[in-house]
Chain A
Amino acid sequence: MAIVRSHSTRYRVWATHAGLVAFLGIILFPLLMVISISFRAGNFATGSLLPDNPSLEHWALALGFNYTLPDGTVVEPPFPVLLWLWNSIKVATISSVLILLLSTTSAYAFARLRFAGKAPLLKSMLIFQMFPPVLSLVAIYALFDQLGQYVDWLGINSHGALIVASLGGMALHIWTIKGYFDTLDKSLEEAAIIDGATTWQAFLYILLPLSVPILAVVFILAFITTITEYPMASVLLLDVDQLTLAVGAQQYLYEQNYLWGDFAAAAVLSGFPITLVFLYCQRWLVGGLTSGGVKG
């Protein structure tokens, strides 16, 4: 702690608080606004941040109910938001589980076992991870188009394709888990192996129970990455009922069919849980971000 303080320090602290509050006001404006809009009647309403006469119209539609306007007309939900949310959660959960399984075993090999080509493999995985999948979408589309002719659940317009395609993005997770394994002492596993355990048993019964925290972080990271994935889903999924939220949500804001209020309710409804999960987990993420970056 700095011992020497100038007299102006107190004013500087107050000025900082004032500056931060003003900054937060600007930053949070869009988020507060969209919550406010979700409670306004109609899709073109304007007004103050606190709605003058709140209406649950958009929320009813977002939750999949018909809504009867005051003049008696019945409005049907424009899009199956809950179905999209369910699709997103389904795809994200299955692919996160798969990603976790595969990247944990790989990380184990990279951290503990010796084998030919280990260092170049690790490095090249990280390099290839930098290439955005958007650029090879034509190839990815062609790949699943072909696969779909022989395996139904891997074709275009199937969730299987999206899940399997997300397995390409494991390099970062492998690095994260490997980094954690490196910090754990080898001697426990070595002791187990001397006592007659196989490599697999040492991994399963000794290393894994010690690594639960990092596995949780990687699971959540993978979950958030897949649930917000847009480019591949936009090419691989076609039918309205198959869409994930990330692809479906934009349909609210087409020029010809501008459903601003309905979008606001759907956005808050689906964005809120994801935001909470992220906020809850971010304290683990921060460590991972910088340690991964600095130490490599």
Chain B
Amino acid sequence: MSSYVLRSFANGKGFPNLKIGFKLVAGLSLALFGLYLVVALYAQQQIAFALLVLLVLSSAGYVYLNRRAYAHRYAYPAIAGMGVFVIFPLLYTVGIGFTNYSASNLLDLERVQAYHLSQSYQSDAGRFPFRLHAEGDRYSITLDTPDGRLSTKPFIPDGEKLLTLAPQTEAEAADALAMREVIKLRGALSELTLQLPGGDELRLSGLRDFAARLPVYSLQQDGSLVDNRSGERLTINYDEGFYQRADGELVPPGFVVGIGFDNYLKVVTDSSIRGPFLEIFIWTLVFAGGTVAFTLAVGLVLASLLQWDLMRGKALYRTLLILPYAVPAFISILVFKGLFNQNFGEINLVLQNLFGISPDWFSDPAMARTMILAVNTWLGYPYMMLLCMGLLQSIPQDLYEASAMDGAGPLDNLFKITLPLIIKPLTPLLIACFAFNFNNFVLITLLTGGSPDIIGASTPAGTTDLLVSYTYRIAFQDSGQNFGLAAAIATMIFLLVGGLSLLKMRLGKMEV
């Protein structure tokens, strides 16, 4: 842009026109804000994010300032969008997979240190009984200390939090408040900090005393902490990401450290993870494969029927058959959740009336899986039908004429003409469908939430969970949020999906 400005000067136009000026100001202010972000993020130790902003900023600068990158300007925003919201999160996730990032190891070392250093305890050395006096709606506190009798000025409960103690000169009022009144005011009192003339601070301890508070730990040169109460030394355990006592006890909260391939090893070796992981992995394959097979079967049959010349009312059939695809999935999945309900669901009412059975759709693993496949076939066959209809149209009609001459039936047509001709263009689409269902998070989350649970699993894991919903639950559900483990499993899925999409491309013979 600057060269642009200079050129307009050189051309004798004098000041560049308003449009360029506006562009210049907008570009500069964006760049300045971006640089501010980089510095601020870097200062907060968010190196990954700082690098991301820096990369986006510098590439944008290059593309929009360099005349040689003119063509890139058109493509840049979309590519940057993908970079920031798809590729960066992907890399970041892979990175998390090699750390112990979790609910128990959430902060970085500095913040954990700061947390420990902010801990304090009440020392018995400076413990003084107090008396509370009321003066109207105000109160004052009086203490007996070795330096004599000290008292606060009258204060309103829940008003100021820090009160200074000063030597009391007048005689103390005789009627200190009874314990009953003190208990009533306990909440307000416990928030008070009283400052001694020397600067030490006192806080409520129990119901009768104010006591001095001292920091529990003091920081050593090498980063370790010394417990001021016992003199015990807490060393940093960089393997586990915790401060550690001499006897090996870990002191929470922990901090994030790199742990290499431990998360991956855990999936392979820890039987309380390996068992559920394998079960879920197999079910995921069965689910994705089954969905592709069922939807393709239903979709292909319907498409063939709708292509049949002798059929009437094709348009109406087509519209009605597409309906499951047209209704937003999050609505139809929830509709099925209600319809399949064990007690009030309409499907069980119908089954009860017709056959006298009412299956446990949500608590029996086999029934739950059956339900999921049925619902997903319902959701997915219209897509397959549309695909097959498009492909069937490209098959020359004279092939069927020839086969009819030779006396072939519909099944011969399907297996000897239709399938062989459409299978090649269909394969990449089937792979995409498999990959999509392999990661069909919404269906599982909204329909069963993964339940019924797998017994003996140390992480949240259900018999109907797919790998994605399992990963999501490890990361976000309940107390045991284990982002590191979730990210490691996510990385495995990334590899698998990457392989699938490469395969799809190879088969699809994409031309650019």
- Chain A contacts to B: CB under 8 angstroms: 1-5, 9, 12-13, 16-17, 20, 23-24, 27-28, 30-31, 33-34, 37, 44, 46, 102-103, 105-106, 108-110, 113-115, 118-119, 121-123, 125-140, 142-143, 146, 150, 164-165, 167-171, 174, 199, 203, 224, 227-228, 230-231, 235, 245-246, 249-250, 252-253, 258, 260, 263-264, 267, 270-271, 274-275, 278-279, 282, 285-287, 289-291, 293-296
Judge if B173 is at the interface, Cβ distance under 8 Å. no
Residue on B nearest A235 in the bound complex, by CB: B476
A2-B401, A102-B78, A136-B89 known; A150-B40 Cβ under 8 A: yes
A20 vs chain B, min Cβ distance (A): 6
Judge if B194 is at the interface, Cβ distance under 8 Å. no
Judge if B79 is at the interface, Cβ distance under 8 Å. yes
Contact B446 A250 (CB under 8 A): yes
Q: Hey, what's the 0/1 contact readout for B309-352 against A, CB within 8 Å counting as 1?
A: 11100000101111111111111101111110100101001000
B430 vs chain A, min Cβ distance (A): 10
Contact A102 B335 (CB under 8 A): no
Interface bin, chain B = 35 or more
Contact B344 A113 (CB under 8 A): no
Q: Hey, what's the 0/1 contact readout for B359-374 against A, CB within 8 Å counting as 1?
A: 0000000000000000
Contact B435 A130 (CB under 8 A): yes
**Hey, which chain A residues are within 8 Å of B77, CB to CB?**
102, 105-106
Residue on A nearest B375 in the bound complex, by CB: A30
Contact B81 A136 (CB under 8 A): no
Complexed CA–CA distance, A34 and B323 (Å): 14
Complexed CA–CA distance, A232 and B168 (Å): 62
A4-B404, A250-B334 known; A106-B74 Cβ under 8 A: yes
Contact for B71 among A115, A131, A271, A278, CB less than 8 A: A115
Contact for B490 among A105, A135, A295, CB less than 8 A: A135
Q: Hey, what's the 0/1 contact readout for B178-197 against A, CB within 8 Å counting as 1?
A: 00000000000000000000
Judge if B386 is at the interface, Cβ distance under 8 Å. yes
Contact for A108 among B74, B88, B344, B349, CB less than 8 A: B74
Contact A121 B490 (CB under 8 A): no
**Hey, which chain B residues are within 8 Å of A263, CB to CB?**
334, 338
Contact A24 B321 (CB under 8 A): yes
Q: Can you name 15 A-B pairs with beta carbons within 8 Å? A: A1-B309, A13-B308, A17-B311, A30-B336, A34-B339, A37-B338, A110-B75, A118-B512, A143-B92, A174-B78, A252-B334, A263-B334, A274-B327, A279-B326, A293-B387
**Hey, which chain B residues are within 8 Å of A270, CB to CB?**
328, 331
Contact B329 A228 (CB under 8 A): yes
Residue on B nearest A167 in the bound complex, by CB: B81
B297 vs chain A, min Cβ distance (A): 13
Contact A132 B334 (CB under 8 A): no
Contact for B512 among A122, A246, A271, CB less than 8 A: A122
Complexed CA–CA distance, A44 and B343 (Å): 10
A147 vs chain B, min Cβ distance (A): 8
Complexed CA–CA distance, A164 and B85 (Å): 8
Complexed CA–CA distance, A291 and B336 (Å): 33
**Hey, which chain B residues are within 8 Å of A133, CB to CB?**
85-86, 89
Contact for A128 among B74, B90, B486, CB less than 8 A: B90
Which candidate, B21-29, B120-128, B136-144, B497-505, is the interface stretch facing chain A?
B497-505
Contact A275 B505 (CB under 8 A): no
Q: Hey, what's the 0/1 contact readout for B442-472 against A, CB within 8 Å counting as 1?
A: 1001100000000000000000000010011
B66 vs chain A, min Cβ distance (A): 12
Complexed CA–CA distance, A286 and B309 (Å): 20
Contact for B390 among A16, A46, A142, A290, CB less than 8 A: A290
Contact A294 B425 (CB under 8 A): yes
Complexed CA–CA distance, A133 and B439 (Å): 10
Contact A31 B74 (CB under 8 A): no
Complexed CA–CA distance, A31 and B305 (Å): 23
Contact for A126 among B74, B90, B490, B501, CB less than 8 A: B501
Complexed CA–CA distance, A230 and B483 (Å): 20
